[in-house]
Amino acid sequence: MKILVTGGAGFIGSQVVDAYLAAGHQVAVLDNLSTGKRENLNPAARFVEMDLNHPAVGDFLAQEKFQVVNHHAAQVSVPYSVAHPELDMQSNGLGMLNLLQASVRSGVERFIFISSGGAVYGEQEQIPTQETALPKPLSPYAAHKLLGESYLHFYGKQYGLKHVVLRYANVYGPRQSPHAEAGVVAIFCERLLAGQPCVIYRHQDMPAGMLRDYVYVGDIVRSNLAALDAGLGETVNIGTGRATSTAELYDMIAEAAGSHLKPSYGPPRSGDIRRSLLDCAKARQALGWQAQVDLAEGCRRTMEWYRQRLGK
Ligand SMILES: NC(=O)c1ccc[n+]([C@@H]2O[C@H](COP(=O)([O-])OP(=O)(O)OC[C@H]3O[C@@H](n4cnc5c(N)ncnc54)[C@H](O)[C@@H]3O)[C@@H](O)[C@H]2O)c1
């Protein structure tokens, strides 16, 4: 298949590109390198450095006639979206709209949109949370992910654009930036290897910290392979369905690092959701997918990658 991966220089998108190429597909990457890195680019993929909002996006898709668009590109920082909602809207709202219009006009057969379960559900009573839960976005980032889903629904009904929505849980693994917001695994790995202490943010009534659904990037990549052939018209949670507190996560990473440093504790940051956990039963039916890598193993693999990268 001929596939465009937007955000293909980023942490997750670049590993989806690698897997699509390994499966024999022809792949192009569109990325503005705002957070993506050249070193992540697979040389076997054609690279176009371009912003989602650029008018030339339409011409590019019209020339290339991609069968599949896999849309990973996004402004990914939640605090940034709170501080600059209009700039988040540029990438995650208007940029997506530009890409959708180009996709419809150029005859794209399948649009895979990467949304965020952790963000769109917000704080829910029902844990683990199913796809049918009423979204409660707590940031412009979350609101714009939901807007993207809504546009996709409209473009599907109005123009017949076939699509799959993948709502990721908290993704971790090699290539994640410790400078990103959702990168607690990356942050702990880098700090522990450097012998620096880590902070666990917690609410008073949750002494072990927030609860999250951590899913390994290799599993995420497999869900993108599955979404090439299955799941049309579906919105699907992609996580593990297992909750882990920040303190449990810290212990696993410290063990993988061989570190005996004790963490310190701090108050929650504004907008920190207490509990986020996805019900992933639908992914099994809709995509034939389920997570395979358990968290301790994923932390070991991630730590190994940071060790090699930092020469530790
Ligand atoms: N990391 C997670 O835990 C997580 C969880 C849920 C959803 N997601 C989603 O997965 C996708 C990939 O996230 P990631 O963690 O790999 O982040 P990332 O920052 O590594 O990747 C995002 C990529 O998009 C590119 N980009 C950003 N704005 C762009 C624009 N306007 N035009 C062109 N390219 C642009 C960046 O340069 C970068 O390469 C995003 O859509 C994100 O919202 C990530």
Is residue 278 a contact partner of residue 241, using CB atoms and an 8 Å limit?
A: yes
Tokens of 296: 């301790």
Q: What percent of the chain is modeled with pLDDT above 90?
A: 94
Q: Which residues approach ligand 1 with their CB closer than 6 A?
A: 7, 9-13, 31-36, 51-52, 72-76, 91, 95, 114, 116, 168, 170-171, 182
Atom nearest to 91 CA in ligand 1: 31
**All domains of the chain in start order, with CATH:** 2-170+215-238 (3.40.50.720), 173-213+242-276+293-310 (3.90.25.10)
At residue 178, the pLDDT reads 84
Q: How confident is the model at residue 13 (pLDDT cuts 50, 70, 90)?
A: very high
Element (H, E) at 143: helix 140-159
Q: Which of 4, 5, 6, 12 to mutate to test the pocket of ligand 1 (most atoms within 8 A of CB)?
A: 12
Report how far apart, in Å, the C-alpha atoms of 25 and of each of 16, 44, 134, 213 are: 11, 10, 37, 31
pLDDT digits (tens, 9 = 90+) for 44-55: 999 999 999 999
How much distance in Å is there from the Cα of 74 to the middle of ligand 1?
4
Q: What percent of the chain is modeled with pLDDT above 70?
A: 99
Is residue 13 a contact partner of residue 73, using CB atoms and an 8 Å limit?
A: yes
At residue 312, the pLDDT reads 75
Phi-psi group of 164: left, alpha or beta (phi > 0 → left; psi -120 to 50 → alpha; rest → beta): beta
pLDDT digits (tens, 9 = 90+) for 25-43: 999 999 999 999 999 999 9
Q: Which of 76, 184, 220 to mutate to test the pocket of ligand 1 (most atoms within 8 A of CB)?
A: 76
How much distance in Å is there from the Cα of 262 to the middle of ligand 1?
32
Q: How confident is the model at residue 179 (pLDDT cuts 50, 70, 90)?
A: confident
pLDDT digits (tens, 9 = 90+) for 111-143: 999 999 999 999 999 999 999 999 999 999 999
At residue 272, the pLDDT reads 79
Mean pLDDT of the chain: 96
Q: How confident is the model at residue 311 (pLDDT cuts 50, 70, 90)?
A: confident
Ligand 1, atom 28: closest residue by C-alpha: 74
Q: Report d(CA 103, CA 155) in Å as an integer.
A: 10
How much distance in Å is there from the Cα of 155 to the middle of ligand 1?
22
What does the pLDDT average to over 155-184? 92
Q: How confident is the model at residue 180 (pLDDT cuts 50, 70, 90)?
A: low
How much distance in Å is there from the Cα of 203 to the middle of ligand 1?
28
Atom nearest to 31 CA in ligand 1: 34
What does the pLDDT average to over 69-96? 96
At residue 181, the pLDDT reads 60
Atom nearest to 141 CA in ligand 1: 43
How much distance in Å is there from the Cα of 114 to the middle of ligand 1?
9
Ligand 1, atom 23: closest residue by C-alpha: 7
What does the pLDDT average to over 199-218? 96
Atom nearest to 50 CA in ligand 1: 33
pLDDT digits (tens, 9 = 90+) for 226-275: 999 999 999 999 999 999 999 999 999 999 999 999 999 999 887 778 99
Catalytic residues: 141
How much distance in Å is there from the Cα of 191 to the middle of ligand 1?
23
Report how far apart, in Å, the C-alpha atoms of 143 and of each of 147, 181, 229, 244, 265 are: 6, 17, 28, 25, 30
Q: How confident is the model at residue 68 (pLDDT cuts 50, 70, 90)?
A: very high
